Amino acid sequence: MKIIIHGGFFSESDQSHDVKVAKQNSLKQIAQDSFEFLKTHSAEETVVHAVKLLEDDLLYNAGMGSQIQSDGKIRMSASLMNGETQKFSGVINIENVKNPIEVAQVLMKEDDRVLGGNGAKQYAAENGFADFSTEIPQRRKEYEEKLKNGGKGTVGCVALDQKGRLAAATSTGGKGFELVGRISDSATVAGNFANGYCAVSCTGVGEDIVSNATAAKIVTRVTDGFPLKNAVEKTFVELKEINGFAGAVAIDKNGNIAHQDSYPTMVFASFDGEHFEIFD
């Protein structure tokens, strides 16, 4: 059993040492909590649990920490993929729900498993999700002053459970001030992908991740026999060719873990029940 989570990027120039320490402590706690959850739950259930905790933490750009778009509204995207069943579900640009990843989880039972905009919100309401504004005063102030809060980013989790099953989940509040209708990578297989061989979750600039098909490429290469480390490295070499900005966390079926970013520093933490690895 292993778990690795990420919470976007940290910038020394934009954020203080105190924020860095807060993110390290937060990620360590969430990774440990989620590993305990993994002991009695499946990989799919665990990645949802971990991402929900990340969505509830104001340090990250998802759920409660989501950015405001150019028209003054918050729209969020999230997705879930079960490596065993090969099912993918997600919501795109959903408004007024507390935890988009939970809506994605409920969609797993549907034939139509990726919903966007008003349809996603209507589905959430019909399935018991309360109307909830994730806007906090800090975000409104940033929007009104036309400021971006640097160093934030998409959150995600990949997990390997005790039965050898893999899963990936990813959630984002967007990049802030984007054009209305913009779709990120987080609810696509470029940003979140898993099968029986590997699971990957990405963060960074969605357009770059989609152009590079980052998560799907890594998983496909591992499936075709690449060692995980090599699959990640080759994919990031190709990302560099388009000057792409991204980070990824991954686990393969043998419990190998990988993490890489194209520009420092992606914030992440992994835990296997004994050893932590946390971004520095």
Please enumerate, by residue number, every residue annotated as part of a binding site for substrate. 182-185, 203-206
Sign of CA dihedral 59, 61, 63, 68: positive
Burial class (CB in 10 A: 0-12, 13-18, 19+), 263: middle
- How far apart are alpha carbons 33 and 178 in whole angstroms? 34
3-state secondary structure 15-84: CCHHHHHHHHHHHHHHHHHHHHHHCCCCHHHHHHHHHHHHHCCCCCCCHHHCCCCCCCCCCEEEEEEECC
Structure-token pair, residue 127: 């399935």
Question: Among residues 216, 218, 186, which one has the least CA distance to residue 90?
Answer: 186
- Residues paired with residue 277 on neighbouring β-strands, in sequence order: 270
- Whether cis (ω within 30° of 0) applies to the bond prior to 265 is yes
Q: Which residues contact 241 (CB under 8 A, 6 or more apart)?
A: none
Give the active site residue among 154, 170, 172, 235: 154
Residue positions in the annotated binding site? 182-185, 203-206
Structure-token pair, residue 271: 């835990």
- Residues paired with residue 258 on neighbouring β-strands, in sequence order: 250
Name the DSSP class of 196: S
**Residue 98 DSSP SS3:** coil
Do β-strands 155-160 and 246-252 pair in parallel, antiparallel, or remain unpaired?
A: unpaired
**Residue 54 DSSP SS3:** helix
Decide if 154 is catalytic: yes
Q: Which residues are catalytic?
A: 154
